[in-house]
Amino acid sequence: MSINNHMDKLFYPRSIAIIEAASKREWQVLGIKNLNYQGNLYLVSKNEEEIAGIKCYQDISDLPDKIDHAIIVVKRDRLRETILQCIEKKFYTLHIFTAGGAEFDEEGIKIEREIYEIIKKSDMRVIGPNCMGIYSPEGKISYGPEFSKKVGKVSFVSQSGDLTTQYILRSNYNGVFFSKVASIGNSIDLTISDFINYFNADEKTEIIGVYFEGFPRFQEKEGLKFWNALKNVKKPLLLLRGGISHQGKRAAVSHTGTLAANDRIWDAIYKQTRALRVETFEELVDSTLAFNLCQNLYPKVKSIVLITWSGGKAVIATDQLVRLGIDVPEIAPSTQEKMKKLISIGSVKNPLDLPWIVRREKFPEICKLAIKEDYIGGSIMEAGTWRNHDERFFKYFENILKIYEISKQLKKPFLISLPPSQFYQNREKFKKMLIEKNIPVFLNIKRAAKAFLNLFEYQRKLRLF
């Protein structure tokens, strides 16, 4: 069976078994049950008769053969015998939830080596050990009961469990939904490169995210495989790398037992592939949002129009943008003259400081004059949370939608900064309204700007590769 067929069984399993299921880990069952899974779900537990309303079997031998996907939660000293039982039952794929492997001690390294040799001789493919597993809303499998049921176009592979969970939840909160997610931990069998190749060929994946800590210690050719996978990617790929510093590398070994690569190799990877360097978790979340809502709106110029309502904040934001390497060019004098005819106070040089007119029809007209200039790559608007969602607010909202439509017609990204507010509930409502109209919303201008930079960098890479 090809690796793609095994991947299909991971993300679209017709049968699932949880071995050593327990009420204290009921979330493992509910994650699948809450997605209205229609296949056969088998639970194995020697101590419980029923979990979440599902009958438990006493032993793996009681299960049918050829189950598509099994999740094993046994203690590490029982891994070897349990995996051999799964192979004997001809299970297709396996998720080893169990921790205490190479990330823990020398005995853990020994155990991982033993099970690696066993798996290598079998027809079964494995994720883990030490990982959370699979989330596929279309395949009706999830390790998190709280994850959205909505199917999206982002796929993600990660060597961390909690980071994956937080990434899914934050992205769902931002209106971003997933096609496929895999938390693969120590990855002694299936590796990050295997998932990148699968996502790259998957018609239902349009954006790829990766969290990488290091290469598996038992697969000597994984570095070359990883390089070739990235070279072949034809989709936006956001790559967050952990274990960069000396202390970070030490932490990566103790987290997933993996081995980090030389920094100069990474520089070559970013220069010679479409992979985008993401430096923080927040940047990963924000850039995923930007790519999800700004497809085909990639800026050709690394410059923006900054639209604000406060002169002081505009000055500070301009300094931030310039430090990031984004130009905030002065609008051409001839265009400024046209804009000045529409205002009595404020500034149209860039930033556009336009107080008191955000509800007026001329507000989007002024913004259009600036955004359509050839030397402008896109725009960031600082929006405010209103005390009341009254008629005045909805006129403001309509103007924002007009600016968004103008930007879309010009094929330029339009990003909103919506800072925290004492009117928390109104902010959340406003944010939801914007996201429902496909306008990306960020916590502040700096975070919006970093996402803009990644959109620009992808456009640059498209021209090169």
Verify that 434 and 448 share a domain, yes or no. Answer: yes
Tens-digit pLDDT profile for residues 375-414: 999 999 999 999 999 999 999 999 999 999 999 999 999 9
Distance CA 327, CA 303 (A): 4
Verify that 36 and 84 share a domain, yes or no. Answer: yes
List, as one string, the DSSP characters of 210-254: EEE--B-TT-TTHHHHHHHHHHH--S-EEEEE---SHHHHHHHHH
Q: Which of 259, 291, 323 corresponds to the end of one domain? A: 291
The single-letter DSSP state of residue 417 is E
Looking at residue 106, its pLDDT comes to 83
The single-letter DSSP state of residue 331 is P
Long-range pairs, 282-285, Cβ under 8 A, ≥24: 282/447, 283/240, 283/447, 283/450, 283/451, 283/454, 284/167, 284/209, 284/211, 284/238, 284/240, 285/167, 285/170, 285/171, 285/174
* Whole-number average pLDDT of the chain: 93
Token reading at 381: 């608007």
With a cut of 80, say whether residue 247 has pLDDT above it: no
Distance CA 203, CA 235 (A): 11
Looking at residue 252, its pLDDT comes to 42
Looking at residue 313, its pLDDT comes to 84
Residue 253: which pLDDT band, with cuts at 50, 70 and 90? Answer: very low
The CA-to-CA distance between both ends of the chain, in Å, stands at 32
Q: Using a pLDDT cut of 90, give the percent of the chain over it.
A: 85
Verify that 253 and 346 share a domain, yes or no. Answer: no
Verify that 282 and 366 share a domain, yes or no. Answer: no
Tens-digit pLDDT profile for residues 261-292: 577 788 889 999 999 999 999 999 999 999 99
Residue 244: which pLDDT band, with cuts at 50, 70 and 90? Answer: low
Structural domain harbouring 441: 296-464
Q: Give mean pLDDT, residues 164-188.
A: 97
Verify that 310 and 270 share a domain, yes or no. Answer: no
Verify that 83 and 171 share a domain, yes or no. Answer: yes
Tens-digit pLDDT profile for residues 309-348: 877 888 999 999 999 999 999 999 999 999 999 998 889 9
Q: Which of 245, 262, 291 corresponds to the end of one domain? A: 291
Verify that 51 and 115 share a domain, yes or no. Answer: yes
What region does 185 belong to: left with phi over 0, alpha with psi -120 to 50, or beta?
left
CATH code: domain of residue 412 = 3.40.50.261
Verify that 380 and 272 share a domain, yes or no. Answer: no
Token reading at 161: 């469990």
Q: Which of 270, 291, 312 corresponds to the end of one domain? A: 291
Verify that 57 and 36 share a domain, yes or no. Answer: yes
Q: Treating both helix axes as pointing N-terminal to C-terminal, what angle do 445-464 and 311-323 enclose, rounded to 10 degrees?
A: 40
Verify that 370 and 455 share a domain, yes or no. Answer: yes
Looking at residue 355, its pLDDT comes to 82
Verify that 231 and 354 share a domain, yes or no. Answer: no
How many domains are contained in the chain?
2
Longest CA–CA span in the chain (Å) reads 82
Verify that 349 and 229 share a domain, yes or no. Answer: no
Looking at residue 452, its pLDDT comes to 98
* Model confidence, pTM: 0.94
Q: Between these two residues, 145 and 105, which has the higher pLDDT value? A: 145
